Amino acid sequence: GSELVRYTIERDGMISTFKELGANVFANACGPCIGQWARSGAEKKEKNSIVHSFNRNFSMRADGNPNTHAFVGSPELVTAIAIAGDLTFNPITDALYTKDGKQVMLTEPVGQELPSKGFAVEDAGYLAPAEDGSGIEVKVDPKSERLQLLDPFSEWDGSNLMGAKLLIKADGKCTTDHISMAGPWLRFRGHLDNIANNTLTGAVNAFGGATNKVKSQIDGSFGEVPDVARAYKAAGIASIVVGDSNYGEGSSREHAAMQPRHLGVYAVIVNSFARIHETNLKKQGMLGLTFMNENDYNLIQEDDTFNFVDLEDFAPGKPLTIEVVHADGSMDVVMTKHTYNEQQIAWYRAGSALNMIKAENAK
Looking at the fold, whether 33 and 169 belong to one and the same domain comes out as no
pLDDT at 244: 97
CA distance 49 to 71: 8
Which domain-ending residue is among 85, 104, 123? 104
Q: Is residue 132 part of a domain?
A: no
177 and 289 together in one domain: yes
Give the integer Cα–Cα distance in Å for 310 and 321: 6
Does some domain include residue 293? Answer: yes
Range with lowest mean pLDDT among 10-14, 28-32, 288-292: 28-32
Given a cut of 80, whether residue 59 has pLDDT beyond it is no
% of the chain exceeding 70 in pLDDT: 100
CATH value at residue 86: 3.30.499.10
The least confident of 103-112, 269-278, 321-330 is 103-112
Judged against a pLDDT cut of 80, whether residue 79 lies above it is answered with yes
Name which residue leads in pLDDT, 91 or 134. 91
Residues 10 and 119 sit within 8 Å (Cβ to Cβ)? no
Residue 156 domain flag: no
In a domain, residue 155? The reply is no
Residue 1 has what pLDDT? 63
Beta-carbon count within 10 A of 150 CB: 13
CATH at 209: 3.20.19.10
How confident is the model over 152-174, as a mean pLDDT? 97
Task: Provide the pLDDT for residue 262.
Answer: 98
Range of the domain at 275: 161-361
Tell me the pLDDT tens digit for each residue of 94-135.
999 999 999 999 999 988 889 999 999 998 888 998 899 889
DSSP 139-184: ---TT-SSB-PPPPPPPP-SS-EEEEEEEEEB-S---HHHHS--GG
3-class SS of residue 335: strand
Q: Please, are residues 108 and 116 in contact by the beta-carbon 8 Å criterion? A: no
100 and 195 both lie in a single domain: no
Question: What is the predicted pLDDT for the residue at 264?
Answer: 98
Residue 179 lies in a domain: yes
Number of domains observed in the structure of the chain = 2
Between 57-71, 236-250, 260-274, the lowest mean confidence (pLDDT) is in 57-71
pLDDT at 250: 83
